[in-house]
Amino acid sequence: MPVVKRPRAAEPLWHEWDRRAQKCGLRHTIYAVNGDQYNGEWLNNLKHGKGTQIWKHTGAIYSGDWKFGKRDGYGSYTIADPVTKEYKKVYTGWWKDDRKCGSGTMFYPNGERYEGEWSCGLRSGWGRMCYRDGSFYKGQWLADRPSGQGMLCLSNNNRYEGGWKDGKKHGPGRFFYLDKGQVLDGIWVADIPKCGILIDFGRDEAPAPTRYPIPKIELADPDGVLAEARVMFDDSQN
């Protein structure tokens, strides 16, 4: 039986050009249409591996790990100061799916700094935040706010230790007024102490103690009822 051979359809030239244009492996600087530039490794035409990205509009630079076109792994992000034009580090740490994730350090423009854990680009987990006024918070975070257990130490060394919720004191906690030599042990709701006990604590060493000390609470028992009940309890144990 005769076999009919049909001529193969000619492949468009742009197919061959497209295959040659596919970026894979280490490449020199690649410029995007908007002026951004990237120098590093590629896989299937996507940034993948080690590389450095420079954004033309902001002048920001990211240098680190990439995965399928997104920042993923360990890397640092820096931006140029608008006045001095010097590059300042903004974040150094781990990334996932183009967002901060894992442990890392964030440097804020006003001089504040956060060291700790991140999730989906927000402070989440355990971390330490150093504020501009000299105070600092270390403890648990959730969705970019202190939540859980943590300690806030103010610039005058007064501190709070206890529960937090949505960035405010919440739950059982203790506030140490070291400048007055007192401590408040109680329950907090939305940054406000609702109930508790205020007692003297290190009053003799305090730099500015209150004028009058807090008197000790003594139970009144004129008839000796408590003492008699204690004796009866001890006899019952024998």
pLDDT (tens digit per residue) in 143-201: 999 999 999 999 999 999 999 999 999 999 999 999 889 999 999 999 999 999 988 88
Residue 19 within a domain: no
Query: Does a structural domain hold residue 53?
Result: yes
Domain extent for 46: 35-107
Q: How far is CA 103 from the centre of its chain?
A: 8
Question: How many Cα atoms occupy the beta-carbon half-sphere of 91 within 13 Å?
Answer: 24
Q: 61: Cβ–Cβ under 8 A, 6 or more apart, which residues?
A: 52, 53, 54, 55, 77, 78, 79, 87
Whether residue 206 lies inside any domain: the answer is: no
Residue 49 lies in a domain: yes
Residue 21 lies inside a defined structural domain of this protein? no
In terms of Cα–Cα distance, which of 130, 177, 137 is closest to 156? 177
Is residue 12 helix, strand or coil?
coil
Does 96 fall in a domain?
yes
User: In whole angstroms, what is the distance from residue 172 CA to residue 187 CA?
Assistant: 5
Length of the chain: 238
The count of domains in the chain is 1
Q: State pTM to two decimals.
A: 0.77
> Is residue 79 assigned to a domain?
yes
Rounded Cα distance, 187 and 39, in Å: 55
- Report the C-alpha gap between 136 and 237 in whole angstroms: 52
The Cα–Cα gap between 141 and 165 comes to 9
101 assigned to some structural domain:
yes
pLDDT digit string, tens, across residues 83-137: 888 899 999 999 999 999 999 999 999 999 999 999 999 999 999 999 999 999 9
Phi (first) and psi of residue 231, to 5 degrees: -65, -45
